[in-house]
Amino acid sequence: MDSVGPVGLQQGEEAAQEGLPCPPGSSELVQECLQQFRVTEAQLRQIQASLLGSMEQALRGQASPALAVRMLPTYVGSIPHGTEQGDFVVLELGATGASLRVLWVTLTGIEGRQIEPRSKEFVIPQEVMLGPGQQLFDFAARCLSEFLDELPVGGQGLQLGFNFSFPCHQTGLDKSTLISWTKGFQCSGVEGQDVVELLRDSIARQGTYSINVVAVVNDTVGTMMGCQPGARPCEIGLVVDTGTNACYMEEARHVAELDEDRGRICISIEWGSFSDDGALGPVLTTFDHTLDQESLNPGAQRFEKMIGGLYLGELVRLVLVHLARLGVLFGGCISPALLRPEAFLLEHMAEMEHPSAGAAHVHAILQDLGLSPGASDAELVQHVCAAVCTRAAQLCAAALAAVLTRLQHSREQQTLQVAVATGGRVFERHPRFLRVLQETVKLLAPECDVSFTPSVDGGGRGVAMVTAVAARLAAHRHLLEETLAPFRLTLEQLAVVQAQMREAMVKGLRGEASSLRMLPTYVRATPDGSERGDFLALDLGGTNFRVLLVRVATAGVQLASQIYSIPERVAQGSGQQLFDHIVDCIMDFQQKQGLRGQSLPLGFTFSFPCRQLGLDQGILLNWTKGFNASDCEGQDVVCLLREAIQRRQAVELNVVAIVNDTVGTMMSCGYEDPRCEVGLIVGTGTNACYMEELQNVAGMAGDSGHMCINMEWGAFGDDGSLSMLSTCFDASVDQASINPGKQRFEKMISGMYLGEIVRHILLHLTSLGVLFRGQQTQRLQTKDIFKTKFLSEIESDSLALRQVRAILEDLGLPLTSDDALMVLEVCQAVSQRAAQLCGAGVAAVVEKIRENRGLEELTVSVGVDGTLYKLHPHFSSLVAATVQKLAPRCAVTFLQSEDGSGKGAALVTAVACRLAQVAHV
């Protein structure tokens, strides 16, 4: 493949340097020399792929020493979002050689308003640089005090960011162990020590100011964090100064070194040490080899030596010496100054490449080196500078393209939109470098939409921003924990709920005042497997109504069903209108199934609070779930159904049983498991039933046998017994409901309300500035906008954070990764409380059964239905774990019901028919 040129980057172009033709008569020798600096697209793609592969290896903890890409976590978990404010102190050590800089940085939190930092530089004496470590850090502490003495600080506590520019192993935002000194420092007793602790000890010994060292930061991270928040997130920092490095925000779950599965963390790539011979070998020139051998660290930092500003001037010098020896330059003359390493500096290259004054600068610089440039020499020297600079930019672009590809793949985005913060003198002084970099990135990563933003003082403002973000996150964390604390229930609190429910059960069974109605269902047995026949089932319990044909045979249970909707006008109209609609649906179903004229036994699942007076008699106590049909409460719903049947004389139905959906769930599972004696619903609403000893049920004749009790436990706590667990968010949801003060237990557990609880918490956290930058959105103000299904989706272990963000963004909530994590925590807290309360209730029920039967240990199954229980990724396991803790003498198995409302109603009817036949015989 042909060479890649510096601008335009079309595949057929040679690296002609922006209109700088080779001087006549020297083209072959010059072309042969500079051809080594020309890089093909294929070579750049190989470097991109190799670096990407070594990055991913290192993230997995499988780093190869030969590739030397370290991928170090920096423990910076969030980028600025523009609201950070306050005063911060920054201490820079090692960023500027033998000096130390202290800065006072004020962040306003207001877009476009910046206050210039105050700073002071202190020269570090040679004896301090080479003396004991304590002496160095005591010197830093004195400099801090001296700087702060000049400011009106008073007695306020100060937050400090520490820019420590030496090789370190970081294990926390404020924990960093020095690996080795560089840059002329050699203080004893520091290598292998946590430099933050050493600084804290010295500040404490100084004792003048209250200073909290919040974060230790390297300059690359500071560059990224110093980028002004814009339209797209700045999640990459790129430094090309004396050396080069990059950092970016990685998904924490991909970093093997961390025990995190959510959120993001900034990774320092340390790509200067990248040294894959397979990828870099073809683009290394003889000049690169010479430079490496003459360096202080031969064989190390190979990639950096092709890009970093410390080396570019030296590469130019080596090329000029070579061309002069060939007689192409300076008439073949070589001055002693030109032979001296580092005679050519980065600053010289920048001056010589100046668009208008470049030629004059070339003559001046060469003359300072004792050379007498000829007429064509200036042009040729510029050509050499351009070739070296262009290659450096292209190689840097290949590395950046690897980072962009990594980001795009890890976030599974078709198009990645991201800002790159740039820092370092190469960017500041070489406009060509950035132009070539941008064009090459477009070629190598066309699916990435990248903008480049110069960082504003990464070492100062950037480090202050890291500190500010850490302070913001800590403050927000405190407010979040404070808000969610009431939802985090202790085992003791749950045991109290269990005891209260047990007490309410006993009172309800005796007919005493209780928030648990404990209603007899007149279901006296669970299936024994001998039931046979065809049955109809009706299922009314929500906005959809089902009619089913259920065939119970030796081979099992077969179902045919149809769903019919119940319009809101019908659900809240007259009772006659509602039951006429139900019968119309039954007639339609019978016609479609070819059942016209047949009178099959029918079970009616009616999932609303009823007081049953017999198996086919049920008095509606009150509507729930949004129903409010008139003239129904206090009436026998079976009679209302039979009256509607009579009004539609074309249908014949034998209504055998009215069944609560919870009972149907128990019976459905009981057909498969005879130990199933408890039914549980956790869906739109919640309820439970169980088989009680008949002798314990007040008002029921008989001292032997069992009776299924419909607990109607959604109303548990309506007497105020749950007030100690109720939060202000529960109160808001209750007050906005159609039945304030009622169904308090249900409103803390069921799917109809959990999304609303979450929404009220999010509103509260937004008002505190913790979420969504404190900006209230109209969508979040809308009742029921946050569906409970979102909790199940957001808490799914299979969802990456980006998918959580997508769910919330679909609600019109523009949010950061931090917001997404906090919303996740809110959802987890609300659903965990719901599951634990549900578990406390189940524990009360199974313990009651065990004690009823005088057993040391009880083995029992619970049949469960409901979308929240079935679809939420953790609800079922949390319920089971709570029951195990609160009822350790009960071995409880949870069985998910298959169509308890339909199949269960038919089985209640089938059991009733079986018992009736036995009684008749």
DSSP state string for 319-388: HHHHHHHTTSSGGG---HHHHSTT-S-HHHHHHHT-TTTHHHHHHHHHHHTT----TTHHHHHHHHHHHH
The answer to whether 394 and 44 have CB atoms below 8 angstroms apart is yes
**Identity at 579, one-letter amino acid code:** F
The alpha helices in 60-102, defined as continuous H runs, are none
Whether 546 is catalytic is yes
Over its C-alpha atoms, the chain yields an Rg (Å, rounded) of 38
Indicate the helix (H) or strand (E) that contains 549.
Answer: strand 544-553
Instruction: Map residue 250 onto helix, strand or coil.
Output: strand
CA–CA gap between residue 548 and residue 902 (Å, rounded): 6
Element (H, E) at 892: strand 890-896
β-pairing verdict for 158-164 and 211-217: parallel
DSSP structural state of residue 688? E
d(CA 604, CA 607): 9
Q: Token digits for 835?
A: 């599951």
Query: Which of 54, 410, 607, 831 is flagged as catalytic?
Result: 607
Active-site entry in 616, 636, 661, 819: 661
Nearest to 475 by CA among 758, 156, 765: 765
Inter-CA distances, 8 with 13, 387, 433, 491, 659, Å:
9, 15, 14, 67, 76
Catalytic residue status for 288? no
Q: Residues 609-645, buried b or exposed e (16+ Cβ, 10 A)?
A: bbbbeebbbbbbbbbbbbbbbeebeeebbbebbbbbb
d(CA 248, CA 445): 16
Q: Of the candidates 198, 190, 182, which has an alpha carbon nearest to the alpha carbon of residue 98? A: 182
**CB-CB contact of 633 with 621 (8 Å):** yes
Residue listed under structure tokens 């010197």: 139
Given a contact cutoff of 8 angstroms between Cβ atoms, the answer to whether 431 and 390 are in contact is: no
Calculate the alpha carbon distances from 714 to 37, 160, 489, 631, 788 in Å.
77, 53, 19, 23, 17
The structure tokens listed for 191 are 């290598």
Pair of tokens at residue 889: 């003498």
- β-bridge mates for residue 350, sequence order: none
Q: Six-digit token pair at 876? A: 């079922």
| C-alpha span between 547 and 219 (Å, rounded) | 69
Residue 98 has what DSSP assignment? S
**Cα dihedral: 290, 293, 294, 298 (round 10):** 140
Return the closest-CA partner of residue 292 out of 303, 283, 282, 278: 303
CA pair distance 97, 33, nearest whole angstrom: 35
Instruction: Show the CA angle centred on residue 98, arms to residues 96 and 102, nearest 5°.
Output: 60
- Shortest CA distance to 387 belongs to which of 440, 321, 433? 433
User: Is 718 assigned a catalytic role?
Assistant: no
Torsion over CA: 529, 530, 533, 535 (sign): negative
Residue 375 to residues 353, 357, 364, 774, Cα–Cα distance (Å): 17, 16, 14, 65
Report the alpha-carbon distance of residue 727 to residue 127 in Å, rounded.
Answer: 62
Among residues 317, 546, 744, 759, the one annotated as catalytic is 546
Residues recognised as catalytic? 546, 607, 661
